[in-house]
Structure 1
Amino acid sequence: MTTQDFQQQINSIKRAVQGSQLSQATALVAQLKAQSLVAGQRVEVLYLAAVIARLSGNHQAAIAELNELLGLRPDHGRAYQELAYNYQASGKAQEAASAFFRATHYNPALVASWKQLLAIYQQHNDTAAQQLASQQIEYLQSLPPQILGAYDLMYEKQLGAAEQVCRQFLQQNKHHSEAMLLLAELGIQLKVYHDAEFLLESCVELYPDNLRAVISYLSLLAKLGKHQKVVSISDKQLARFSNNLQILMAKANALLGLNQTDEAIEMFDALLATDADRPAVWLALGHAYKTTGETDKATHAYQQAAHYHPQFGDAYWSLANMKSYRFDEQSLNDMVQTEQQASMNIEDKIHLCFAIGKGFEDAKQYAVSFDYYSKGNQLKLNSVQYDIRRAEQAMEAQMKACQADLFSSKSGGFPSPDPIFIVGMPRAGSTLLEQILASHSDIDGTMELHNILSLASSVSGQKKPYPFCLADLSHEQCYQLGKQYIEQTRYYRGTASFFIDKMPNNFMHVGFIKRILPNAKIIDARRDPIDCCFSNFKQLFGEGQEFSYGLDEVARYYKAYEKLMTHWDSVLPGDVLRVQHEDVLDDLNGQVKRMLDYLGVPFEQACLDFHQTQRLIKTPSAEQVRQPINRQGQGRWQPYQEQLTPLLAHFNRL
């Protein structure tokens, strides 16, 4: 069915509902359900079916339709609102209250749900909740109807429609603060970060008393890894918004991002000294201690986060992600019970499923472990609405745009030889390579820097999108972009001659890197595909890496990555050094010398004794690389062989 045909039938159903012709609407929905629909279309049909069932007085049928819908889209705010109305009509007040709460969690623009919650809070004399609901209602009702409608569209994942409404409004109401904030948020969701940053910066300058704008701006800068800017702006804003918790947390996390760990921990401790019931602060403190290798303190902080917020899924996942931490049987049983509670929101449920999966894996109950890993991944995949074809198309675009003549016929770029890029798939051993190389006296380790991704985004033009615009970059533009990168990353390095940028996703931008930094070194960290893909499948990432949440998706992504790296080898022969993880385990001495020879630095024994190097590490592998070389990560997929048939088939390993 074409999109146009589908929309015509949807419009016919809506007209029937508006005309109170519910029998006709029900028949049209039944016909549409019988068609072969994609997931997004099925969600829309199920929602209409539920509305029709409720209007017909068939609340149980409506609830069944909505439960099926939420299985496909667990973050559908309007579906929860509709569910709440049906529970209300069925006399199930507690279930209705929970559904209204979830509706506002996933779609904060639902005024009707906020009003229902306010009435519930008033009945229970919950003063704090009343105040929150009243403030949100007041804010939403202050918005122009067009902007409120656009927010609703955005929260329901209709980003294109929301953007269109917002831009039309701004044409008539230039520099409207709430419209600017909304357009910036849409830019962030669409990953047009450069435009979003400009909008938020402008909004903060035009409306300095708008706290929402300040918080959004700081959040985006943190997402882009611009930690120094976050610290500077936070200091300025704290003079206006004294002791604001969100700004203080933004500054503390930025200090952590700048490796000023002691200062960050001091800020977290100060916040907890004034109020210990701050789970998010405990979590951030745990992350800080994990970075420094103080695992006992990190464990305590994560446990405190869970203590103050028993449904805080991220606290349990952070414990599980410590790798060396083990849940006892009682804790694991308690987590299973918590995950089943109806009041759990999807984000916490996802985190908890991954934590339980890790707990049962450690207990060698592999079938149960896989069930929870699989459940967590499916919930995450549904919530992000990821389409692997976009990543495949992006890599194909790189191969089309970056042919050999792009590098042979173009000169320029900033000549600095300082950067060493370690690229590749996540969970492929890049943290180990960084730890080895950062143990050398001439090389500084940093972290996964966002600067290349940000600079690549900034060059995309209206005439030619990235990466096709690379061919049009002048000598001077390449020079300035390379210079910007070196200047922007200066905050993260020490005094060594070279530094490492370990952002794995930079494998997508090797062509861009060589245009702006022709003397940069690039190492491709490669790992056995099954070990690598399964390790990704088990890992819940803080942000991005959406390809990892499905066995088919991660396998296709790995194969596309391999194909792109082969392309780089073809058009940039000898420029990228591939280091196979298994070779490092088999011959550490040989692979270390091979890497150092490629980088042009002399051998140092410290690179073999890498586990003794004291430095801050901010990846899931932080604990492993503080140990001598070992094979604990090899073959971890084998107990799951039966469940991994789809993955094994991709690589002819059945």
Structure 2
Amino acid sequence: MADTVDALARKAAALYRSARYDDAREAYRDLLALHPNRADDWVNFGLLLKRQGAFREALAAYDNALQHQVTGPEEVHLNRAVVLADDLADPASAHAALEAALAIRPHYVPALLNLGNLHEDAGDRDRARTVYARALELEPGSALALMRLAEVTVFDDPGHPLIERLRGAIARIDLGPLERADLGYALGRALDQCARYDEAFAAYRTANQGSRALAANPYDPQGAQAFIDRLIAAFPDAAEKEAGADLAPVFICGMFRSGSTLVERVLASHSRVIAGGELPLLPHIVREQLQPYPESLVGRDAAFYASLRQRYLKGLDEMELPIAGLTDKRPDNFLHVGLIKRIFPNARIVLTRRNPLDNCLSIYFAHLDPTLTYAASLESAAHWYEQYERLADHWMGLYPDDIHIADYDAIVADPEAEIAGLLSFLDLEWEDACLTPHRGTDQVRTASAWQVREPLYTRSCNRWRNYAAHLESLVATFGEPGRA
């Protein structure tokens, strides 16, 4: 009997490793229906369900693992916290899960780091700093804990002890590429705050070298251009609007670091808007159902897109988010505007734009996912920016009345006029609260979480001038603002 059970478990695991996720899901269901006491398999089932976007079911699987006395229960509580925070936008429950992990293992550094991150998202810098300092005390050699502590520290002295500690850590010869990236981005940010721009740029260069080493393949300009060509070819015509069509979120998208978080915070200050943040729903649909993309969409009928709409709405339901007044602020959804307008024909799209020199520099300075390979060099960031503009122009040509360009530099220079135009586009009446988005109390889970908690400011405009000596490639591509 044991051999049969183990064979079923091996089969489920093999299907999972082979990316046959639907088959693996059924195999785990069969196995655990017959043998519900297999705690480790409940954990594996939970990981699979999370990957498939079945977040509530994943939590139930983790609960079963805990009920059956899984080894290392603190890790399962951590898994639950990640789902609750990242996928279900439930920071209070995530906090409780992390506290449960720490009750079992008080020195569990991964739980401390995630707890600090929740404090960051809530805008509580002091609590975040305390938790990160505790994590670093427990693991003095942790590059991640040191980076997180530096990220919640404000620097005005290049001799600050944390800067010296960052310098010493990044000089170690035994660092892996991820640690080098973590420390390099943190050191660059600290030196930038101290106006040590040449030293900051050198630190960011080191960080991006580490990030490039983590990517499976380097940025491919020809492949990127071909992908945009294929998207344009896949959506040559506008989708027809539907009278009385279902409600749709407001999709806010554009280049990373181009102001999408600011735009969402402005809108979330309005009484009729709910900030959804960077919802994973649309990318998940594309990844799981629409490969190869966009070619898989050829010949699809209205019923097919209606089924995708229902899947998206089911995801909102799982996250307990209403669709009325909701924003979906996922920057890279700009790739999917054509798909969005097939799924939600009446959707409004806000495309964010920023001075390309500042935008590309900010991308280069941001600790983005290494799979975003264009971010690891200024030249590739500039090339991807050009592809974004090319695709944005195509979408604007198809949907001129349903797309609004929100220009970051214009918003911070003349907030009242620009915000009035944005609200008018969305058929929202003026509310003064939209001029003070920093007063919002929502969680913010982006690289710009601290910036958007400050009053509107212009100091990030023309930031590129601090680094002009290093930006020959960007100036060659885009020219220098203000010069013919």
Instruction: Judge same fold: TM > 0.5, yes or no.
Output: yes
Quote how far apart the aligned CAs of 1:443 are.
0.9
Q: 2:276 aligns with which of 429, 440, 446?
A: 446
Quote how far apart the aligned CAs of 1:494 are.
5.1
Matches within 5 A, 1:371-390: 371-384=202-215, 385-389=217-221, 390=223
Point out the more displaced range, 416-425 or 231-240.
231-240
Q: TM-score, normalised by structure 1?
A: 0.66
Distance in 2 (alpha carbons) for counterparts of 1:466 and 1:392: 15
Aligned to 2:466: 639
Aligned to 1:262: 92
Contact 1:319-1:325 within 8 A present in 2 as well:
no
Distance in 2 (alpha carbons) for counterparts of 1:614 and 1:336: 35
Q: Which has the higher contact order (CA 8 A, sep 6+)?
A: 2
Aligned-residue Cα RMSD (Å) equals 2.8
Amino acid at match of 1:481: L
* SS of residue paired to 1:629: coil
Q: Deviations over 1:120-176 (max 9, x none)?
A: xxxxxxxxxxxxxxxxxxxxxxxxxxxxxxxxxxxxxxxxxxxxxxxxxxxxx9973
Q: Does 1:179 align with 2:14?
A: yes
Q: Does 1:339 align with 2:170?
A: yes
Distance in 2 (alpha carbons) for counterparts of 1:178 and 1:537: 38
Contact 1:313-1:350 within 8 A present in 2 as well:
no
Q: Does 1:249 align with 2:82?
A: no
Q: Does 1:402 align with 2:235?
A: yes
Matches within 5 A, 1:567-578: 567-578=394-405
Contact 2:256-2:363 within 8 A present in 1 as well:
yes
Aligned to 2:62: 234
Structure-2 change in CA distance of 1:213 and 1:533 (3 Å): farther
Quote how far apart the aligned CAs of 1:590 are.
1.2
Amino acid at match of 1:439: S
Quote how far apart the aligned CAs of 1:388 are.
3.0
Quote how far apart the aligned CAs of 1:487 are.
2.4
Distance in 2 (alpha carbons) for counterparts of 1:179 and 1:343: 34
Aligned to 2:22: 198
Structure-2 change in CA distance of 1:563 and 1:212 (3 Å): farther
Aligned to 2:5: none
Distance in 2 (alpha carbons) for counterparts of 1:412 and 1:391: 33
Distance in 2 (alpha carbons) for counterparts of 1:416 and 1:325: 49
Quote how far apart the aligned CAs of 1:527 are.
0.8
Distance in 1 (alpha carbons) for counterparts of 2:57 and 2:229: 35
Distance in 2 (alpha carbons) for counterparts of 1:467 and 1:595: 30
Aligned to 2:311: 484
Distance in 1 (alpha carbons) for counterparts of 2:23 and 2:181: 32
Amino acid at match of 1:640: Y
Aligned to 1:518: 345
Q: Does 1:537 align with 2:390?
A: no
Q: Deviations over 1:161-203 (max 9, x none)?
A: xxxxxxxxxxxx997345324323xxxxxxxxxx5x4254245
Matches within 5 A, 1:392-431: 392-404=225-237, 407-408=239-240, 415-431=245-261
Structure-2 change in CA distance of 1:470 and 1:323 (3 Å): farther
Matches within 5 A, 1:16-415: 176-184=11-19, 195=20, 197-208=21-32, 215=43, 218-219=46-47, 222=50, 227-242=55-70, 244-257=73-86, 258-322=88-152, 324=154, 329-384=160-215, 385-389=217-221, 390-404=223-237, 407-408=239-240, 415=245
Distance in 2 (alpha carbons) for counterparts of 1:377 and 1:210: 43
Distance in 2 (alpha carbons) for counterparts of 1:280 and 1:492: 24
Q: Deviations over 1:507-545 (max 9, x none)?
A: 000000000111111100111111111111011125643
Distance in 1 (alpha carbons) for counterparts of 2:455 and 2:314: 35
Contact 2:249-2:323 within 8 A present in 1 as well:
no
Quote how far apart the aligned CAs of 1:595 are.
1.2
- Report the structure, 1 or 2, having the larger helix content: 1
Amino acid at match of 2:429: P
Quote how far apart the aligned CAs of 1:491 are.
4.2
Which ranges of structure 1 fall in alignment gaps of 5 or more residues? Answer: 1-172, 185-194
Quote how far apart the aligned CAs of 1:650 are.
1.8
Point out the more displaced range, 340-349 or 440-449.
340-349
Amino acid at match of 2:76: I
* SS of residue paired to 1:427: coil
Amino acid at match of 1:205: R
Distance in 2 (alpha carbons) for counterparts of 1:267 and 1:176: 31
Contact 1:533-1:558 within 8 A present in 2 as well:
yes
Structure-2 change in CA distance of 1:333 and 1:223 (3 Å): farther
Q: Deviations over 1:226-279 (max 9, x none)?
A: 543432322233223446232211111222232322222233233224433222
Structure-2 change in CA distance of 1:495 and 1:566 (3 Å): closer
Distance in 2 (alpha carbons) for counterparts of 1:538 and 1:576: 29
Distance in 1 (alpha carbons) for counterparts of 2:320 and 2:425: 21
Amino acid at match of 1:397: R
Structure-2 change in CA distance of 1:357 and 1:210 (3 Å): farther
Distance in 1 (alpha carbons) for counterparts of 2:159 and 2:138: 20
Contact 1:412-1:515 within 8 A present in 2 as well:
no
Quote how far apart the aligned CAs of 1:596 are.
1.3
Contact 1:420-1:521 within 8 A present in 2 as well:
yes
Distance in 1 (alpha carbons) for counterparts of 2:341 and 2:258: 23
Contact 1:413-1:518 within 8 A present in 2 as well:
no
Which ranges of structure 2 fall in alignment gaps of 5 or more residues? Answer: 1-7
Aligned to 2:354: 527
Amino acid at match of 2:475: L
Distance in 2 (alpha carbons) for counterparts of 1:538 and 1:270: 35
Quote how far apart the aligned CAs of 1:407 are.
2.3
Amino acid at match of 2:220: I
Amino acid at match of 1:489: L
Aligned to 1:625: 452
Contact 1:439-1:613 within 8 A present in 2 as well:
yes
Distance in 2 (alpha carbons) for counterparts of 1:508 and 1:323: 35
Quote how far apart the aligned CAs of 1:624 are.
1.7
Aligned to 1:12: none
Amino acid at match of 1:424: G
* SS of residue paired to 2:469: coil
Contact 2:265-2:437 within 8 A present in 1 as well:
yes
Distance in 1 (alpha carbons) for counterparts of 2:443 and 2:47: 23
Number of matched residues?
466
Contact 2:360-2:385 within 8 A present in 1 as well:
yes
Distance in 1 (alpha carbons) for counterparts of 2:38 and 2:360: 44
Contact 1:439-1:606 within 8 A present in 2 as well:
yes
Amino acid at match of 1:282: L
Aligned to 1:170: none
Quote how far apart the aligned CAs of 1:625 are.
1.6
* SS of residue paired to 2:346: coil
Structure-2 change in CA distance of 1:605 and 1:549 (3 Å): same
Contact 2:40-2:65 within 8 A present in 1 as well:
no
Amino acid at match of 2:67: A
Which structure has the larger Rg over C-alpha atoms?
Answer: 1
